Chain A
Amino acid sequence: MTVHNLYLFDRNGICLHYSEWHRKKQAGISKEEEFKLMYGMLFSMRSFVGKMSPVDMKDGFLAFQTSKYKLHYYETPSGLKVVMNTDLGVGNIRDVLHQIYSNIYVEFVVKNPLCSLSEPIQSELFHAKLDGFIRGLPFFSARAG
């Protein structure tokens, strides 16, 4: 069980942060293109899920999975999007993604006057805390599962 990588997007589609822990295959395109692709897909997926839902929608798009990995999605009311790719052994981690937002992003980016909220995050403290948090998750193992 492991975490592959993590993206953080702001409400305008700018990728604020990306880090990876176990990624065996790259996308074959540049990082900017990859971020745009990811954001575009999420945007379309969200509106698709809302439109085509046969019942009243509660949380909307939560995750998708393939035979090899699962992509988890969490969006805050302020438009910040947290996207995490894990392997298939992981269940619903919305509360983990929420913790990343409230305990790490809010604490070390929003409360840091030197971090501009619409630019990629430069704060090393944020990187360190995020990395420590992810490595401490119960479903993160140092060897790719």
Chain B
Amino acid sequence: MADSPLFQALHMEMAHALCAEQEKGLGALEGVGFRVGQGLSERLTKETPSFKDELDALKFLCKDLWITVFKKQVDNLRTNHQGTYMLQDNQFLLLSQLSNGKQYLEEAPKFLAFTCGLVKGALSNLGFDSTVTAEVPVMPSSKFQVVIQKS
């Protein structure tokens, strides 16, 4: 995204505003992220050939999508080869300004909901249904767990 400051500022306000009411807010944020993810993955894969399997799709996510949105690649991708993947980003862009350790940890989920939706939407557009959850062991690193549904 060319305007990273704009995206960051917008995301900040979105997370803050939508999460005034806890439950609905997180769902709404994830929904927004989902549609953004769908559109983004469509645009980014315009020129590339279709993916051989889900691992390739995940690799595309970790490299191209992450670079486009967060200006860096995912640091670590792990899988159990049975449909579960773990993406780890040690300097997550949206969290790096918040804290360097334990402060503000309880607020972190709000800022991850959009990204969870983003990953889910991107994968769904590539043909994989999934559920995505996120956790923050310590700021600013974050882990996203993707479970691909076998249809």
A143 close to B (CB within 8 Å): no
Pick the contact of B97: A111, A122, A124, A128 (CB < 8 A). A111
User: In the bound complex, do residue A108 and residue B101 qualify as a contact, i.e. CB atoms below 8 Å apart?
Assistant: no
Q: How far is the CA of A124 from the CA of B103 in the complex (A)?
A: 7
Pick the most buried of B103, B104, B111: most chain A CB atoms within 10 A of its CB.
B104
Q: How far is the CA of A31 from the CA of B37 in the complex (A)?
A: 50
Q: How far is the CA of A108 from the CA of B15 in the complex (A)?
A: 17
Task: Give the size category of B's interface with A.
Answer: 10 to 19
A128-B13 contact given A111-B8, A114-B107, CB 8 Å threshold: no
Pick the contact of B100: A107, A111, A113, A128 (CB < 8 A). A128
Count chain A residues whose beta carbon lies closer than 8 angstroms to a beta carbon of B: 11
For B107, what are the chain A residues with a Cβ–Cβ distance below 8 Å?
A: 114
Q: How far is the CA of A98 from the CA of B104 in the complex (A)?
A: 27
0/1 interface trace, chain A 79-118, chain B, CB 8 Å (1 if under) = 0000000000000000000000000000110011110000
User: In the bound complex, do residue B15 and residue A113 qualify as a contact, i.e. CB atoms below 8 Å apart?
Assistant: yes
